[in-house]
Structure 1
Amino acid sequence: MNDELQFEKEIKQRGLDAPRVTPADLDAVIAAEDYHVFPGTTLTVCCLTLVNGFTVTGESACASRKNFDEELGRMIARKNAREKIWALEGYRLRCDLARKRLD
């Protein structure tokens, strides 16, 4: 079981039901993804475009060219880009919660 699913299970078991950002929320804000491998390197960059047009990037590279696998590079770069969305969506949610308290 991956870490995100394990955390979701733990959160539910503990009865923590306040508003929060979930893995599904992250996936829902991703509108497009694009990849680039820089020629002659193992550097792979993933650019995720969010539904509002904002972009986040993630990178991956390996020390030895012999270990380079483009598919794995894309997976790692995407994971790294997606991780950045947690903070963005957490900030958005916190702003929404603060506005509701002020109304």
Structure 2
Amino acid sequence: MTDEALGTAPSVSLADVRANMVNVEIVKHVSKSGQILRWAVIEAQNGFAVTGRPSCAVSAENDNAAKGEKVAIENTENEMWPLMGYALREKLQS
């Protein structure tokens, strides 16, 4: 098998994951100790909501909202990937 053949089979790309996202909500939680966590809740085109691991700032002084949101979204995109792979496999099997 050549490298050229590797890209021809059906697969899920990051562009596919992002195209499937219809809504992104960021949920922020501040613990009693001041630790800031952010989760991204992503709604897919079919209405299914997915969340990933949170981003985390150990203290409020270190918090960067834009960076925290970016990390939270990336973490949730990583959770969507296997779900979309499963759906693609189901589609290919039928």
TM-score bucket (shorter structure): 0.7 to 0.9
Determine the structure 1 residue equivalent to 2:13.
Answer: 22
Q: Which structure is higher in helix share?
A: 1
Determine the structure 1 residue equivalent to 2:55.
Answer: 60
Determine the structure 2 residue equivalent to 1:88.
Answer: 83
Partner secondary structure for residue 23 of structure 2: strand
CA-based RMSD of the aligned residues comes to 1.6
Q: Which structure is higher in strand share?
A: 2
Instruction: Provide runs of 4+ in structure 1 moved above 2 Å.
Output: 62-66
Partner Cα distance (1:77, 1:60) in 2: 5
Partner secondary structure for residue 21 of structure 1: coil
Normalising by structure 2, report the TM-score.
0.83
Determine the structure 2 residue equivalent to 1:74.
Answer: 69
Partner secondary structure for residue 74 of structure 2: helix
Partner Cα distance (2:91, 2:72) in 1: 30
Structure number with greater CO (CA < 8 Å, separation at least 6) is: 2
Partner secondary structure for residue 61 of structure 1: strand
Moved more, 36-45 or 90-99: 36-45
Unaligned runs of 5+ in 1: 1-12
Unaligned runs of 5+ in 2: none
Number of aligned residues: 87
Structure 1 residue 56 displacement after superposition: 0.7
Identity %: 32
Letter in structure 1 aligned against 2:39: V
